[in-house]
Amino acid sequence: MQRIIEEALMVAKKFGVSYADVRVIDRTEEEISTKNGSVDGIKSSSSKGFGIRVIADGAWGFSSSFVLTDEEISRVAEEAVDIAKASAKTKIEDVTLSKIEIYQDRVEEQVKIDPFSVPITKKISILLDADKLMNLQGIILRRGGMYFSKEWKTFASSEGAYLELERVISNAGISAIATDGKDVQTRSYPSSFGGDYQRKGFEFIEEVKLLENAWRIANEAIQLLSAKPCPSGKMDIILESSQLALQIHESCGHPTELDRVLGEEASFAGTSFLTPDKLGKFKYGSDIVNIVADATAPFAIGGFAYDDEGIKAKKIYLVKNGEFVGYLNSRETSKKLRLEPMGAMRAESWNRAPIIRMTSINLEPGDKAFEELVSGIDNGVLMATNKSWSIDQKRLNFQFGTEIGWEIRNGKLQDMVKNPTYSGITYEFWRNCDGIGNKDYYHIWGLPNCGKGEPMQVMQVSHGASYGRFRNVQVGVLR
């Protein structure tokens, strides 16, 4: 590995770059899916390769390849430099980077049971057991899935960084779809998007408790068919933590990405309403809203030891006591705004250049018991598990739908309701947050499918959340 990296950096330097870094990644993945009592698919894949990122003539270039030979390493390094020099033809100013501490380190993932040491038969058996429990009359589609990955990444830079980093991810989730011929309703566990993900070994699968919840969600899917529609109008809502996690993702995570803010994602992902003039001067939420970007969060898939620029994992506040106070940034963007680089540059794999990504964006827990949150509502809805999402490209106007809801009347949970939706303007919504569940309900949810960048990069991020109560929210849209 060291040979590849030295060769790549040497060739890049020969062509007169002012900066170069190299990432070599070797990743193995396994994905198992079941459907209606049978195995639907098992994918076993491995991928390795390297990517070289350079600054030449004051502009960025990146190239990558799956062929790990001396000849190809030279070709790719030279191509990265050629690409950078072409970029320079349109440059307005030279790329400059914030100074950072340089590390040499090796970090192994703390895993109890290597998921690749567990026989596939055992994994299939758990999923099919859960499938059986969901096999109720009225359920037309039962799905289960597990995903495991293990990778070693070596990062080195022309500044002397040399990092060897291991990463292990485990996932499990189930869902049931019910129909009565007219309506179709879905329930998922522990959340939608394939369930929950953590940086743990196979021990995580037992913690997820699929079997303990399989019958319940299938039964709820059936009950939803005859449930009454969610009411419409302005009312109070409580979001369960996995839905609140997605709310954080869309309305706080994305708009605090500094590349979006500076217009660098305008071509695809969009821009942001949290413009630099608002930093430290904008009331994002109520006083109880504290949102952190915490790459040090244990087991969180948005966490890591070092980011893809070699910055050691940090925890910073994005929103403190309701004030907007921080951005997710890179060495380049932090330099532009004279901010501390906080380490949010991540690449999907060896064949992508890193871009600013969410780490673990967490809403810190509050002090309320669930019963207290409910008892404070005269007329409202409790909503759980995301079903649909929509938000404008500046991350202001959003609308979410959840799989299930329960009416709240006079401080008590009442009937189940179907097709709950709510919508609002980001800062108005968070300013109306007047209760956050305590740490007993707090959970960091792994979200594996955050899409951003061109070429598209799908990133593993995570979000910690408890219950959240929001006042005077527009509820209901589905006709």
Partner 1 sequence: MMTRDQIQTILKKSVSFSEGDQTEAILYGGKSYLTGFANNHIHRNVGENNYNLSLRVAFGKKIGSASVNDFSDEAIKNTVKRAVEIAKLQEENPSFVSFAKPEEAPEKDFFVEKTAEVTPDMRAEYVKKICDKSKEKGLNANGTFVIDLMQIGVLNSLGISRFCSLTVASLKSVILGDTSSGYSIETSTNVDDISVNSVIEESIGIAEMGKNPIAVEPGKYEVILSPYAFAEFISSLSYLALNARAVEEGTSFLAGNFGKKILGDNITIYDDGLSPETIPMPFDFEGVSKKKVVFFENGVAKDVVYDTLTAYKNGKESTGHSLPQPSSFSPYPMNIIMKGGDLSKDEIISHVEHGLYVHRFWYTNPMDPRRAVIIGMTRDGLFLVENGKITKPVKNMRFTESIITALNNCIELSKEKRVMYDSSSITVPYVRIKDFTFTSITEF
Output the smallest distance, CB 56 to partner 1, in A: 11
Cβ contacts of residue 84 below 8 Å, gap of 6+?
A: 17, 54, 55, 56, 57, 59, 60, 61
Angle, helices 210-226/120-133, rounded to nearest 10 degrees: 30
Q: Which is nearer to partner 1, 74 or 438 (CB)?
A: 74
Rounded Cα distance, 47 and 374, in Å: 49
Helix ranges restricted to H, 342-406: 370-375
Query: Are the CB atoms for 433 and 288 separated by under 8 Å?
Result: yes
Q: Which is nearer to partner 1, 124 or 288 (CB)?
A: 124
Q: Which is nearer to partner 1, 52 or 168 (CB)?
A: 52
Cβ contacts of residue 338 below 8 Å, gap of 6+?
A: none
For the record, the structure tokens of 63 come out as 């190239």
- Three-state SS at 291: strand
Output the smallest distance, CB 339 to partner 1, in A: 18
Q: Which is nearer to partner 1, 184 or 413 (CB)?
A: 184
Q: Which is nearer to partner 1, 78 or 105 (CB)?
A: 78
Cβ contacts of residue 187 below 8 Å, gap of 6+?
A: 175, 176, 178, 217, 218, 220, 221, 224, 385, 403, 404
Output the smallest distance, CB 321 to partner 1, in A: 25
Total residues found in the chain within this entry: 479
Q: Which is nearer to partner 1, 141 or 339 (CB)?
A: 141
Q: Which is nearer to partner 1, 64 or 170 (CB)?
A: 64
CA 412 vs CA 47, 93, 228, 233, 377: distances in Å: 52, 60, 17, 19, 8
By CB atoms closer than 10 A (0-12, 13-18, 19+), residue 127 is buried
Rounded Cα distance, 105 and 161, in Å: 9
Output the smallest distance, CB 63 to partner 1, in A: 4
Q: Which is nearer to partner 1, 72 or 105 (CB)?
A: 72
Output the smallest distance, CB 86 to partner 1, in A: 4
Output the smallest distance, CB 243 to partner 1, in A: 15
Output the smallest distance, CB 477 to partner 1, in A: 5
Give backbone dihedrals phi and psi of 146, rounded to 5 degrees, phi first.
-135, 150
Output the smallest distance, CB 305 to partner 1, in A: 25
Chain centroid, CA 294 distance in Å: 12
